[in-house]
Chains A and B, each alone.
Chain A
Amino acid sequence: MNFLAIIRSRPLSGLLCLIFSIASFISLQLNVINDYALNPFIVIIIAIVSLIFFVIRQQGLFLLSICFVALFSGAWSVLNLIHSFDKSVVMGLDAWLLVSALWFLTWNNLVQLSALKTKNKLIELSLTIIIPVLFGAWIFFLWEVITIGMSVPQVLLPAPSLIWQVFDGFGATLFADFYQTFVRSAIPGFIMGSGTGFLVAIAADKIPFLRRGLIPIGNFFSAIPIIGMAPIMIMWFGFDWQSKAAVVAIMTFFPMMVNTLSGLNETDRIDRDLLHTYASSYWRELFSLRLPNAMPFILNALKINSTFAMIGAIVAEFFGTPIVGMGFRISAEVGRMNIDIVWATIAVAAVTGSMFYGVFALLERKLTFWHPSMRKS
């Protein structure tokens, strides 16, 4: 049959979107008693758009942007619907079907966007941003719809909109926690740990005896759960930020030492010979050749350490803190079942962590642009 062949040649997600939006429309018509109903107009639009997508195989940027508009209006209407609910109401079948239809439309969109080939650097860059952002936005949308639409108890998982509200009333506390954990504990510990790790690596590189001894010990220490040192550090340095900074310093010391050492060992024989023919001094060779060569390793250690610093500071607070700090907030509010505050704190930690990491990722691009792994991309 010709018809079957046509269907086969089309993306499955387009067909599924069409089926689900029609089903949603039918269920909307059958379900007349429900007070909360979708706007039928939007459902029809989604169905039409999915039909277009199903029929037209080559989807250019213009069609895709129409699809975006349809997606957003669909999502908007679903969000409007669930936010008009009373507490106990569960979302109707029509809306669930529409959400499924929207997902297939999104997926179709993502596939189409991923397949786009362009030589324009600006479009390419915006694609690499838009595609994951679209996917991430979809996850948040689904989170919101499921938690509210199925009235999931707040204790289990609060909706993103509820978490967002925490920033309004609770912002000052969240900032104080951020200040205590990130600025006072994580950063000083990070600087101390990475700094001493770097200096010890330089010393160990100069003295072969130290190097041979420290590499196995360093490898051993990087395998062990250093986070367990937290209660001991609290005993030594007290409850305040000093003990957390100490934990972070120990956690960040070994990755920096091990990475810097292997980076310094990476230097080619021929490059060292070259500097030797210039009668260069040890320090000259270190600064002109070996440290630049070790830069990719050092930045890698800084990237690893940036996440370790956040983890160390927060987990160390589980063992005891003054009544401020992100780790304290998480454990205290979990106890009081204020899960929305916990999630807000996690959001702060996530954003801080990513930005801290991002700084070093950017620095890596700037400083090691010459490295083969950077040149390709």
Chain B
Amino acid sequence: MNESSSINSKEPAIIDINNLCLTFETQTEPVHALSDINLQVNSGDFVSLIGPSGCGKTTLLRVIADLEKPTSGSISVEGKTPNQARLDRAYGYVFQTPALLPWRNIEANIHLPLEMSGYSKDEQKSLSNQYLSLVGLSGFEKKYPWQLSGGMQQRVSIARALSFDPDMLLMDEPFGALDEITRDRLNEELLRLWEQTKKTVVFVTHSIPEAVFLSSKIVVMSARPGKIINVIETNFPKDRNLDIRESKEFLKVSQLVREGLKEGHSDGS
């Protein structure tokens, strides 16, 4: 299955990672956070990175975002170095916590990246309106982050990541801290957003149903050293809703992911 991902695509991959390794030097011994990673992500893909904690899935996302530097191997993002891609503001990043600035109201929080990209005040205003309504938060512009629920805050942070129209969305367990009901709803919303905006999404999670439900491609990872065990492609209709989780196909893919995780576990220890 590993090969199919790169063979099918005609265009060059938007993210191209080859033989990438990352080692953290600690006082006791070096930690191999990522070891020999090969991954191609195509434009319009929704890729989930799944694995146990400590498998380096967040680290891999941070390498793509140029928040960490690889020790060896090569990585290109949109044909550029990650650093250049970051300077060109190629991606919007959504963190585990909303990371909204408490002294800025919702609107001003969305303006933050826009200010840095040099948009005019009017453009900032119209963009924040547009993306707030996209995530269903029209009317909350003047509220402050701490006046909103956790789920609403995370929706604001997604709107913020989309607001400057980057090609990619990098999401690091964005719904991990939310309750399951909110999480399900936001999953459906995210899928709708992906379909509407045609962004490429790289999504880190440790929830199997979430990964299977959202993704067009699931990357299963294992810990110590962090490496890719398996890449599973799914083929669900784009306008799917949560009911699909009852379907046979869904359960089959879930089973595949679970087996991959188990295999990685026995490998690791």
Contacts and interface: CB of A to CB of B under 8 A. Distances in A.
Direct contact of A and B (CB under 8 A): yes
B89 A270 contact: no
A371 interface: yes
A289 B116 CA distance: 13
Interface of B: 65-67, 86-87, 89, 91-93, 95-97, 99, 101-103, 112-113, 115-117, 144, 146
B68 to A, nearest CB: 10
Contacts of B67: 273, 276-277
B102 A371 contact: yes
Given A276-B86, A280-B116, 9 more contacts: A270-B99, A271-B99, A271-B101, A273-B95, A274-B95, A277-B66, A278-B89, A279-B89, A295-B103
Contact of B101 (A277, A278, A280, A289): A289
Chain A to chain B: the 9 pairs with minimum beta-carbon distance, closest first: A370-B102, A277-B93, A370-B103, A279-B87, A270-B99, A278-B113, A274-B99, A292-B103, A278-B116
A288 interface: yes
Interface string A274-295: 1011111000100011001001
A101 B87 CA distance: 77
Nearest to B86: A279
Interface of B is mostly: loop
A288 B66 CA distance: 21
A268 interface: yes
A268 B91 CA distance: 21
Interface residues of A, number: 21
Contacts of A289: 101
Contacts of B66: 276-277
B96 to A, nearest CB: 8
Interface in A362-377: 368-372, 375
Nearest to B98: A270
Nearest to B160: A274
Contacts of B95: 270, 273-274
A277 B144 contact: no
B83 to A, nearest CB: 9
26 contacts: A268-B99, A270-B95, A270-B97, A270-B99, A273-B67, A273-B95, A274-B95, A274-B99, A276-B66, A276-B67, A276-B86, A277-B66, A277-B67, A278-B89, A278-B117, A279-B86, A279-B87, A279-B116, A280-B116, A288-B112, A292-B103, A369-B103, A370-B103, A370-B144, A370-B146, A372-B146
Contacts of A274: 93, 95, 99
A276 B97 CA distance: 16
Contacts of A369: 103
A277 B65 CA distance: 7
Nearest to B91: A277
Contacts of B92: 277
Nearest to B92: A277
Contacts of A292: 101, 103
Contacts of A284: 116
B230 to A, nearest CB: 29
A112 B33 CA distance: 65
Interface in A102-152: none
